[in-house]
């Protein structure tokens, strides 16, 4: 079995004791066990969420690229590596994050890991290399799409993710997960910290990038677990009315056809990130006020899961009927 390194400059491996970062591997196994190549042991020591791979696990040849999304050489060689892995069944290419060029490199790397946790790492990885211009651009633009876009909106623990997943399966389409969920869960696991004001910009960028990539796979309708308007509301609620002007501009500019505002009439479920179990009605009112302020079309979704599902089906069918009559 052969192993190759691409774009290798200065590589520093930090072994973390926290199980959230690395699989269980002792220092003795990593440095003194010669039964397997060192670089493959590095792969084994890393969690799956940290690895972007093209090609089979048991490939005869492995190419490992230590890369930074701001590296021009990485971007230049990327199409060739993709083509190579696609052409040869005996070769896999592994992309390992090596964010050394700027602080923005670290932010983008974290965004890719969050996308990878949601099963969209490869798509997000490829889309970053396809971007023309700067990755740190100030705009949060949607790409053009012909599908109907529906957003699940409202406070935490109101069943948005469950319902969006169920409807996506029902209509044989896709849903855009909440990027902030995995981004902030990773931050909690790593540092024991919850969301801070400086997190909102990378969260907004990650959300719109995820939506743009997944929208390419939509079948007539795209369900979005959240959007930038939701980020705006949370920002203003948590940070004394403040919202990054770039997020506010993107939230007002981007278009969605309909909103499902999820009510707080179901039990609140605690987790590492949720923190306002006693302010649910106040939060709900803030979300509804924002929809009314922006003149968004919406309906309140309430009741048990079956009631919510049936209400959503009714409105989605009506939207699809109008859409198909116009095409």
DSSP string, 51-96: EEEES-TT-SEEEEEEE-TT-HHHHHHHHHHHHHHHH-TTEEEEEE
* Tokens standing for residue 163: 């319902």
Give the model's confidence band at 253: pLDDT under 50 very low, under 70 low, under 90 confident, else very high: very high
Q: Count CB-CB contacts under 10 A for residue 318.
A: 11
- Answer whether residue 52 shows pLDDT above 90: no
Q: Count CB-CB contacts under 10 A for residue 25.
A: 15
Which of the following CATH numbers is that of domain 148-326: 3.90.1150.10, 3.20.20.70, 3.50.30.30, 3.40.50.300? 3.40.50.300
Cα gap 304→33, rounded to integer Å = 55
Q: How do residues 301-315 score in pLDDT, each as one tens digit?
A: 999 999 999 999 999
Which has the higher per-residue pLDDT, 248 or 3? 248
- Collapsed DSSP state (helix, strand, coil) of residue 150: strand
CATH fold of 2-130 reads Glutaredoxin (3.40.30)
Domains 2-130 and 148-326 share a fold: no
Which has the higher per-residue pLDDT, 170 or 48? 170
Tell me which of 15-24, 99-108, 128-137, 244-253 is least confident. 15-24
Section 68-80 average pLDDT: 86
Domain boundaries, the chain: 2-130, 148-326
pTM for the whole structure: 0.66
- Answer whether residue 272 shows pLDDT above 80: yes
Q: Find residue 2's DSSP bridge partners.
A: 61
Cα gap 176→182, rounded to integer Å = 13
Say what the pLDDT of residue 21 is. 35
Q: How do residues 193-231 score in pLDDT, each as one tens digit?
A: 889 998 999 899 889 989 998 999 999 999 999 999 999
Cα gap 166→174, rounded to integer Å = 10
Q: How do residues 173-188 score in pLDDT, each as one tens digit?
A: 999 999 998 888 888 8
């Amino acid at each position: 079995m052969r192993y190759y390194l691409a774009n290798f400059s200065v590589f520093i491996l930090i072994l973390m004791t926290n199980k959230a970062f690395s699989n269980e591997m002792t220092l003795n196994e990593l440095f003194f066990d010669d039964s397997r190549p060192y670089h493959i042991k590095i792969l084994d020591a890393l969690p799956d969420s940290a690895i972007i791979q093209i090609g089979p696990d048991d490939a005869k040849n492995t190419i490992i690229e230590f890369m930074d999304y701001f590296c021009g050489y990485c971007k230049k060689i990327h199409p060739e590596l993709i083509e190579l892995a696609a052409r040869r069944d005996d070769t896999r290419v592994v992309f390992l994050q090596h964010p050394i060029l700027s602080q923005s490199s670290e932010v983008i790397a974290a965004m890719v890991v969050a996308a990878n946790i949601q099963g969209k790492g490869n798509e997000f990885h490829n889309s970053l290399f396809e971007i023309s211009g700067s990755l740190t651009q100030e705009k949060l633009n949607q790409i053009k799409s012909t599908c109907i876009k529906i957003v699940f909106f409202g406070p935490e623990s109101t069943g948005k993710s469950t319902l969006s997943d169920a409807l996506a399966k029902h209509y044989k389409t896709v849903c855009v997960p909440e990027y902030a969920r995995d981004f902030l869960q990773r931050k909690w696991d790593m540092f024991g910290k919850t969301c801070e004001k400086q997190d909102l910009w990378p969260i907004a960028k990650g959300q719109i990038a995820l939506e743009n990539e997944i929208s390419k796979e939509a079948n007539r309708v795209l369900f979005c677990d959240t959007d930038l308007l939701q980020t705006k509301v949370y920002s203003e609620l948590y940070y004394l009315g403040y919202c990054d002007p770039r997020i506010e501009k993107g939230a007002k500019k981007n278009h969605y056809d309909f909103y499902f505002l999820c009510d707080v009439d179901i039990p609140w479920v605690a987790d590492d990130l949720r923190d306002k179990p006693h302010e649910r009605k106040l939060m709900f009112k803030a979300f509804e006020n924002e929809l009314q302020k922006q003149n968004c079309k919406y309906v309140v979704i309430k009741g048990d899961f079956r009631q919510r599902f049936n209400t959503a089906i009714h409105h989605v069918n009506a939207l699809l009927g109008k859409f198909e009559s116009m095409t």
